[in-house]
Amino acid sequence: MANIHDNPNRDAWVKKIAAANTLAEGVKLLTDFRAKHLSPFKTDFSLELDGQWIELKIEEKVALLKHKEFNDTQFLNNSATGENAQKVADAAVAKMNATTDMYEAERIHINFRLANKPPILPVNVFLDADRQLGTKLMELRNTDYYALPLEELRKVRGVKVITLQ
């Protein structure tokens, strides 16, 4: 009996993931996949049902490649791109602290997550930075977020209303 989770989308991605043999290839595959298929700004909706499963499989591959290519000190202190993880996190937090626009803060937070969610950054560094970014975003949002009428809020956020007939 076939596995309920087997399908052509997943099979194709399993082959793509297997073809990534270096950490650099794995990181590129993961960050491109997240931006194209999982971001609020995504450009491809074809993997709605399989996207998170595929992301998980790519993350597993990147983690294994990171373990293979990094020594213990690098593994705990560097991003998968080789940069100092704390410096990457500090740069995002500094950028967030410099903004007073909640929409820019949302973009900073979203882009940080897309580019750095583990296994790209070590978990301890990522979570602390994500907490700081989220705190600042909530502080900016909590000031009259719902003061705009719904139609104006949609316009400001660039929402396209889709109606089913």
1-69 matches 81-165 in fold: yes
Encode pLDDT of 123-132 as tens digits. Answer: 999 999 999 9
pLDDT in the model for residue 70:
96
CATH number of 81-165: 1.20.1280.30
Range 1-69: architecture per CATH: Up-down Bundle (1.20)
Domain boundaries, the chain: 1-69, 81-165
* Token pair recorded at residue 78: 């560097």
For the full predicted model, state whether its pTM sits above 0.85: no
Encode pLDDT of 132-142 as tens digits. Answer: 999 999 988 87
CB 84 within 8 A of CB 74: no
